[in-house]
Every structure is written in C-alpha cells, then in structure tokens.
Structure 1
Amino acid sequence: MRADRLVSLVLLLRQRGRLTAETLARELEVSTRTVLRDIEALSAAGVPVHAERGRHGGFALLPGFRTELTGLNHDEALAVLTAGSARGEQVFGLGSALASAMRKVVDALPDSHRVSASDAAQRLLVEPETDLLSRRPVTDEVPGTTMVEVRRAVLAGRKLRIHYAATGQAPQWRTVDPIGLVTVRDVAYLLATRSGEDRTYRLSRVLAAEELPEPAQRPDRVDLDRIWRERSARFLSGGDHITVLIRMNPARREELLDTALAVRAEEPDADGWLRLEVTFQDARHAEWALWQLSTDAEALTPQSLRTLLRERAAAIAARYADSP
C-alpha cells in the first residue's frame, strides 16, 4: 500500500506542481506526518523532490522528471478521462483506485495529448448527481469494509460469510459461494449460490462480510450477462408481480421506467402516445406509480387496477368537492 501511495504522491506533484503537505495529505487520505515521511523516503530513493519555504511554499519536483506513454492516442485518453468522471467510479468501492489510475494515465501522456485531452474531458459530464429537476439519484450505500471483503472473495474465488438482512426478516449469517458482482442503476448485487441453489443478494442489505479460506464451489469461467438475464426472468415471473398495459404521454416515460421493475413491450400508439406492457412489484406498487403520472398515463389492464385508481380519484374528488 505504501508503494502505491508513493507513486500517487509523485504523480500529484508532477501534475499539479508545488503542493503543501496538508494538500497532499488530503488527496492521499493520510496524515501530514505520513506525507513528510513519504517525502523523506522519496528523497532517499533519489526522486528529485524538494521543499520550497515561505508563505506559498510546499513540495515540488525538479522540472522534466517524468516518463511518457505514447500508446494512447487523444481519443483513447479522452475516453478514459471521461469514464473516470462518472459517478460509476464509486461502484464496488473502487473510487480511490480509479482516481489513482487517472493520475497515472494523465501523467504518462505526452505533453500534446495531456493538455488537449484534459481540456476536452472538462466538456463532457457523465451522470451528474442531479437531473434537470434537481432530483438526486437513489444510490445504495455499502460500507467500505463490507465491500472490500465481498469483492476480495469474488475475485479470489473463496467462500463468503455474510450477515444479510432480507426484506421482512431478521438479519442472519449465511455462507455462500460468490459468482460475481452486478450493478444496475446504482444498485449493486452479489450473485452467488448457497447449498447449490442460485441466490442474489442486494449489497446494501449486507450488514457485514467475511472472506473465508475455503475455495468457492463455482465454475472457472462465467457469463455474468447471461446469468443476470436468467435470474431477472425468474424474478419477474414469481411472487405477487403484476403486469400492466399502459397508455402514456412519452414525455413521462422515464419517470415510469424509474419505478417499474421491467418493460416487457413498448410500441407507439395512434395518437402519439406510447403503449407499454410493464411489470410492477405488486398491485399496490402499480397503483402508486400510475397515480404519480396523473392524467399523463392510463392503465388499460387489468381491470382491478383501473378500479383501484378510479376509487382513489373519486375519494380525492369528494374530499375537495366543497370549500372548507
């Protein structure tokens, strides 16, 4: 870990020039005392880092101390930098690792590529924290220590012990054979087997995790995309899920997709609206989702849902029929 930190320290000084010990400590998430020790270690190893005294002092490298990587062209460097700007950098707890990788890529570029790619990357923004309506995305929070244990077991191919809080149940410890990690709309899942049976765990419900020394029982090669499709299909076909045929204003389509479990079919309607076949968790979920869309959507089937929405609208109308 210290070797990686020393590399990051050198790259920060290369890219930003003179930096104070406090700034370096903040960037590297360590104490200023650790930074000072690292500076001494770099100097002892022959890295030309020196201290500049005074009010605007700090640490800096001698000019020209860097290596160049010519294998990346401008567009490739731009793609890497743009990807690094997305909120996806926090997926699976790899945000700090990605930040370190970005520093290495930028530092290794030739001067001509580095300046133009960095400037161009500032013109592109992927998945900002809010949309035009100032709505923040709902992102599952997974403790860093838990994420590290889960990720380590998945990549090492070892059994994993998790303290899992399933919906409506008391948390229980379970030992599973991890297969892989999947993220969908900022929600992360662990795909695993337990006693030979397929299991899918939402990572935000894993309260604690422990990598075990025993090897996991799983195939050497895996097609996560195929496994996810199969498990999604089984999930949608079970339980109290309800499928609804809807006519709706296309301007509200994304709002519907944010709440639905799945869209099974979609086609334009004669009047410019859309006709969709959508699956919801249950009837209550469907009623709530359609109510949010007001007159911009109409449930065509099932009739039971139409009845629920009509009765709800009638109750609201009755409430406001007279002045208070």
Structure 2
Amino acid sequence: MRANRLVSLVLLLRQRGRLSAATLARELEVSTRTVLRDIEALSAAGVPVYAERGRHGGFALLPGFQTRLTGLSQDEALALMVAGSRRGTQVFGLGSALASAMLKVVDALPDSYQETAADVAERLLVDPETDLLSRRRTAEEIPDAIVTEVRRAVLAGRKLRLRYAPVDRAPAWRTVDPLGLVTVRDQGYLLATRSGADRTYRLSRVRAAEALDEPAQRPDRIDLGRVWQERGTRFRTGGDQVAVHVRVDPGRREELVGTALAVRSEEAEPDGRLRMEVTFQDARHAEWALWQLATSAEALAPEWLRASLHDRATALAAHYGASGDGR
C-alpha cells in the first residue's frame, strides 16, 4: 500500500506542481507526518523532490522530471471498472483506489491532452452531495477493514464469516457463500447464500468480517442484475407485509419512501399534502416508520395502526406531563 501511495504522491506533484504537506495529506488520506516520511523515502530513492519554504511553500519536483509509474494495481483497475457509479466506489471501499488510478490515467496522456482533460473535468460534476434544495444524501459509513474483507471474499470466491446485526436483534456470527455486491442509493448490500438458501445482507449492519480459505459454493457465472431483481420481487411480495394509506408532508416524502418497501399509489391533495399507499415489511415496521415522521404524516388506514400510534403518543404525553422531579 505504501508503494501505491508513493506513486500517487509523485503523480500529484507532476500534475499539479508545488503542493503543501497539508494538501498532500488530504489528497492521500494520511497524516502530514506520513507525507514527510514519504518525501524522505522518495528523495532517498533518487526522485528529485525538493521543498520550498515560506507562506506559499511546499514540495515540488524538478522541472522536466519524467517517470513511468502508470501501472494499475488490481484495486485501481477494479475502481475504474465501477467508476460509472461514483457511489459504488465509495460503498465498496474503492474511493482511494479510484483517485490513485485516475492520477495514473491522466499521467499516461500526452501533455497536450492533459490540459484538455483537466478542463473537461472542471466542467462535469457527477452526483454531488446535495441537490438543489440543499438536501444531503445520507451515505452509509462502513469501516474500510470490513468492506475490504467482504470484497476480497466476493472476488476470490471464498466463504465469508460475518458478524451480522439484524434490526432489533443482537449481532451473531454466520458463514455464507458470497455471490456479489450491490449498491443502491448509497446503501451497500451483499448477495449471498447460506446453506443453499438466498440471503441478502446490508453492509452497514456487518460488525466484523473474515474471508475464509474454503472455496465458496456458487455458480461460475452470475447475472447480478437479474438476481437482484428476483430477490427484490420476492421481498416486496412475501411475508406479513402491511399496506398503509397515509397523508404526508411533501418535504418528508423521501423519508417515507426510503423506509417503505414499495409505493403503490400517490396523488397530491388540494392542501399540498400527498396521499399515498405504501407497503411495509410487517406491523412493527409500519408503526416505526410512521412514528419517525411525527406530525408530518398521518396514517389513514388500517385502523389498528392509527390506534397503535395514538396509544403510543398518549403514553408519551402522559409521561412528560407528569412531574419532572423524579417522584
């Protein structure tokens, strides 16, 4: 990993000129102390990098320095293959590999093309963190060590040992045969089988992962898109699902849709609110989702859900209406 970082450091200096230690540390996702050690290592290896002191100082390469450091690592090549989805590189833990690979790609271009490529890059923005209403995406945070181990098992075709925490249940270990990774709206999923049965795991709920030496039991080829669609269909149509009619504030629509399994119907009412029919996994899921929206949503049906939310709100009001002195 350090060798790749040293290559990236040289390419950053080649393409962007003089850079401060703080800027290099930010780009390489390391500490400034690590950058200084890397600079010393490059100098010892004969790379003509020098320091300029002062307010606008930093590190730079001697003018005209050329090198052939554009060989892509396995992770960098993989990152380029999924670069069509910026979210995919982040969810699968390939963000830094993509940045390193793109440095090598740009460095391999003729000098006349490098300036054009930089100008084009400045005029294209893909998938920003917020939309025009300043609503931020809620990307999942998955530890690098976990996603790296999961990815290694998927790509190497090895069994995977997971410590997984389902909703409202304690984490437990299980061994699975991984099939592939899927990212949807910044949420990552592992498709796998366990004792021959289909299983889908949310990556953010994996607490630990270990790729085993034993080969996974899985087909040699897979149409991941078809498998994902089939599992989604079974998930939406199976089990004890609950259909709910609800009125919701348009500003909270995405939160409702994000927790529901499916939207069956939707129409705007004269007062601007939305009347929707949505499905949830079960009764507990429906109650939890509507409770999160508080007064921004109203469950119209079924009646038992209205009653359940009413009872919960009454109990909460009674609790806070009592004396706050602990008696």
Per the TM superposition, whether the score is higher than 0.5 is: yes
Give the match for residue 37 of structure 1: 41
Structure 2's unaligned 5+ residue stretches are 71-79, 320-327
Separation (CA, whole Å) in 2 of partners of 1:312 and 1:275: 23
Q: Is the 8 A contact 1:84 1:98 kept in 2?
A: no
* Among candidates 114, 131, 142, match of residue 117 of structure 2: 114
Q: 5 Å matches for 1:206-221? A: 206-221=206-221
Query: How far apart are residue 118 of structure 1 and its match?
Result: 3.0
Give the match for residue 127 of structure 2: 126
Separation (CA, whole Å) in 1 of partners of 2:93 and 2:208: 15
TM-score of the pair, normalised by structure 1: 0.74
Q: Is the 8 A contact 1:13 1:61 kept in 2?
A: no
Give the match for residue 303 of structure 1: 303
Q: Residue 304 of structure 1: SS of its match in structure 2?
A: helix
Q: Residue 92 of structure 2: SS of its match in structure 1?
A: helix
Separation (CA, whole Å) in 1 of partners of 2:102 and 2:242: 45
Q: Is the 8 A contact 2:87 2:183 kept in 1?
A: no
Separation (CA, whole Å) in 1 of partners of 2:93 and 2:114: 31
Query: How far apart are residue 310 of structure 1 and its match?
Result: 6.3
Q: Is the 8 A contact 2:20 2:59 kept in 1?
A: yes
Q: Is the 8 A contact 1:87 1:127 kept in 2?
A: no
Is 97-106 or 161-170 further displaced after alignment? 161-170
Separation (CA, whole Å) in 1 of partners of 2:89 and 2:218: 28
Q: Is the 8 A contact 1:246 1:299 kept in 2?
A: yes
- Provide closer, same or farther for how the CA distance between residues 311 and 25 of structure 1 changes in structure 2, counting only shifts above 3 A: closer
Give the match for residue 147 of structure 2: 147
Separation (CA, whole Å) in 2 of partners of 1:247 and 1:41: 67
Counterpart code for 1:36: E
Give the match for residue 266 of structure 1: 265
Separation (CA, whole Å) in 2 of partners of 1:318 and 1:214: 57
- Provide closer, same or farther for how the CA distance between residues 286 and 195 of structure 1 changes in structure 2, counting only shifts above 3 A: closer
- Provide closer, same or farther for how the CA distance between residues 87 and 42 of structure 1 changes in structure 2, counting only shifts above 3 A: farther
- Provide closer, same or farther for how the CA distance between residues 286 and 7 of structure 1 changes in structure 2, counting only shifts above 3 A: same
- Provide closer, same or farther for how the CA distance between residues 179 and 61 of structure 1 changes in structure 2, counting only shifts above 3 A: farther
Query: How far apart are residue 113 of structure 1 and its match?
Result: 1.5
Give the match for residue 77 of structure 1: none
Give the match for residue 94 of structure 2: 94
Q: Residue 207 of structure 1: SS of its match in structure 2?
A: strand
Query: How far apart are residue 207 of structure 1 and its match?
Result: 2.1
Q: 5 Å matches for 1:278-317? A: 278-287=278-287, 289-290=289-290, 299-308=299-308
Residue by residue, what CA displacement relative to the aligned partner does 1:119-168 show, whole Å, maximum 9, x if unpaired?
Answer: 313xx36241688466x544433221121111001011111122223344
Percentage identity across paired residues of the two chains: 59
Taking only aligned residues, the RMSD between alpha carbons, in angstroms, comes to 3.9
Q: Residue 200 of structure 1: SS of its match in structure 2?
A: strand
Counterpart code for 1:62: P
Q: Is the 8 A contact 1:86 1:127 kept in 2?
A: no
Query: How far apart are residue 218 of structure 1 and its match?
Result: 0.5
Q: 5 Å matches for 1:71-86? A: none
Q: Is the 8 A contact 1:86 1:128 kept in 2?
A: no
- Provide closer, same or farther for how the CA distance between residues 315 and 173 of structure 1 changes in structure 2, counting only shifts above 3 A: closer
Query: How far apart are residue 217 of structure 1 and its match?
Result: 0.8
Structure 1's unaligned 5+ residue stretches are 44-48, 70-79, 320-324
Q: Residue 142 of structure 1: SS of its match in structure 2?
A: coil
- Provide closer, same or farther for how the CA distance between residues 141 and 297 of structure 1 changes in structure 2, counting only shifts above 3 A: closer
Give the match for residue 51 of structure 1: 50
Query: How far apart are residue 94 of structure 1 and its match?
Result: 1.0
Is 164-173 or 268-277 further displaced after alignment? 268-277
Query: How far apart are residue 262 of structure 1 and its match?
Result: 2.1
Separation (CA, whole Å) in 1 of partners of 2:211 and 2:201: 16
Separation (CA, whole Å) in 1 of partners of 2:240 and 2:123: 49
- Provide closer, same or farther for how the CA distance between residues 252 and 195 of structure 1 changes in structure 2, counting only shifts above 3 A: closer
Q: Is the 8 A contact 1:87 1:128 kept in 2?
A: no
- Provide closer, same or farther for how the CA distance between residues 185 and 174 of structure 1 changes in structure 2, counting only shifts above 3 A: same
- Give the total of aligned pairs: 299
Give the match for residue 74 of structure 2: none
Query: How far apart are residue 219 of structure 1 and its match?
Result: 0.7
- Provide closer, same or farther for how the CA distance between residues 212 and 294 of structure 1 changes in structure 2, counting only shifts above 3 A: closer
Query: How far apart are residue 9 of structure 1 and its match?
Result: 1.9
Q: Is the 8 A contact 2:164 2:207 kept in 1?
A: yes
Q: Residue 96 of structure 1: SS of its match in structure 2?
A: helix
Q: Is the 8 A contact 1:21 1:59 kept in 2?
A: no
Q: Residue 58 of structure 1: SS of its match in structure 2?
A: strand
